[in-house]
Amino acid sequence: MELLRGVFGIEPFPAVLLKDVRTAVIADMHIGFESAMANMGLFVPKVQLSQELEALRQVGKLTSAERLLIAGDVKHEFGEFNTTGFRELLNALESMRRLFSKLVVVRGNHDTYLPKFTGKVDIELLEEFAEGRYLVAHGDVEVSSPRTEGEVVIIGHEHPVVVLYDEVGGKERIPCFLVGRLYDGRDIIVLPAFSTLVSGSEVNVMPKEELLSPVLRESADVDEMDVIGVTEFGYMHLPKLGVLRASARA
Partner 1 sequence: MAVEWVTEPFDDEDSLASLAPYVRGWFESTFSQLTPPQRFSFKLIGEGNNIVIASPTGSGKTLAAFMAILSELFKMGERGELKDSIYCVYVSPLKALDNDVRKNLLAPLRGIREVAARDGLELPEIRVALRTGDVTQSEKQRQLASPPHILITTPESLAVLLNAPKFSNSLRSVRWVVVDEIHELVSSKRGVHLSLSLERLADLVGKEFVRIGLGATLHPLEEAAKFLVGYREDGELRDCKLVDVTWYKPLEVKVVCPVKDLVHASADELNEGMYEMLDRLISRHVTTLVFTNTRSGTERVTYHLKRKWKEKYNDETIGAHHGSLSREVRLDVENRLKSGRLKAVISSTSLELGIDVGFIDLVVQIGSPKSVTRAVQRIGRSGHRFEDTSRGVVIALDRDDLVEVAVMLKCALEKRLDRVQVVKESLDILAQHVVGMALQKKWDFYEALRLIRRSYPYRQLKEEDFRSVLRYLAGHHVGLEDRRVYGKIWYDEEDGVFGRRGKYTRVIYYLNIGAIPDETKVDVYRLPDKVHVGEIEEGFLERLRPGDIFVLGGKLFVFKHARGMRCFVESAPKGAVPTIPSWFSEMLPLSFDLALEVQRFRGEVARMISSGEEKRKVVSWIASNYPVDRRAASMICEYIREQHLFTGGRVPGFKELLVERTRYSGREYLVFHCLFGRRVNDALARAFGIAASDALGSSVGLVVNDNGFSLVLPQGKEVDVTSLVKTVVGYDLEGVLRSNIRRTELMRRRFRHVAARSFLVLRNYKGYKISVNKQHMNAQTLLRVCEEISDDFPAISETYREILMDVMDLEGAEKVLAWLREGELKLDTIRTSSPSPFSHNLILTGDADVILMKDRRRRLIELHEAVMRKIRSGGLV
Query: Are residues 133 and 147 in contact, defined by beta-carbon separation less than 8 angstroms?
Result: no
User: Which residue from 145, 143, 53 is spatially nearest to 103, judged by alpha carbons?
Assistant: 53
Residue 47 lies near partner 1 (rule: CB under 8 A): yes
The Cα-based distances of 150 to 3, 4, 182 in angstroms read 15, 11, 12
* Nearest-approach distance from CB 250 to partner 1, in angstroms: 6
Looking at 41, 145, 149, 183, which residue binds partner 1 (CB under 8 A)?
A: 41
User: Taking CB under 8 A as the rule, which mask of x and - marks residues 219-238 in contact with partner 1?
Assistant: ------------x-x--x-x
Looking at 79, 80, 167, 183, which residue binds partner 1 (CB under 8 A)?
A: 167
Residue 54 lies near partner 1 (rule: CB under 8 A): no
Residues 6+ apart with CB under 8 A from 139: 71, 72, 155, 156, 157, 158, 190, 212, 213, 215, 216
Query: Are residues 122 and 155 in contact, defined by beta-carbon separation less than 8 angstroms?
Result: no
Classified as helix, coil or strand, 33 is helix
Stretch that binds partner 1, among 2-10, 55-63, 116-124, 202-210 (CB under 8 A): 202-210
- The residue (of 60 and 160) whose beta carbon lies closer to partner 1 is 160
CA 147, CA 130: separation in Å to the nearest integer? 9
Query: Are residues 191 and 138 in contact, defined by beta-carbon separation less than 8 angstroms?
Result: no
Angle among Cα 129, 222, 150 to the nearest 5 degrees reads 45
CA 138, CA 177: separation in Å to the nearest integer? 15
Stretch that binds partner 1, among 3-11, 13-21, 55-63, 164-172 (CB under 8 A): 164-172
Looking at 58, 164, 223, 228, which residue binds partner 1 (CB under 8 A)?
A: 164
Residue 40 lies near partner 1 (rule: CB under 8 A): yes
Residue 172 lies near partner 1 (rule: CB under 8 A): yes
* Nearest-approach distance from CB 235 to partner 1, in angstroms: 11
- The residue (of 118 and 247) whose beta carbon lies closer to partner 1 is 247
Residue 64 lies near partner 1 (rule: CB under 8 A): no
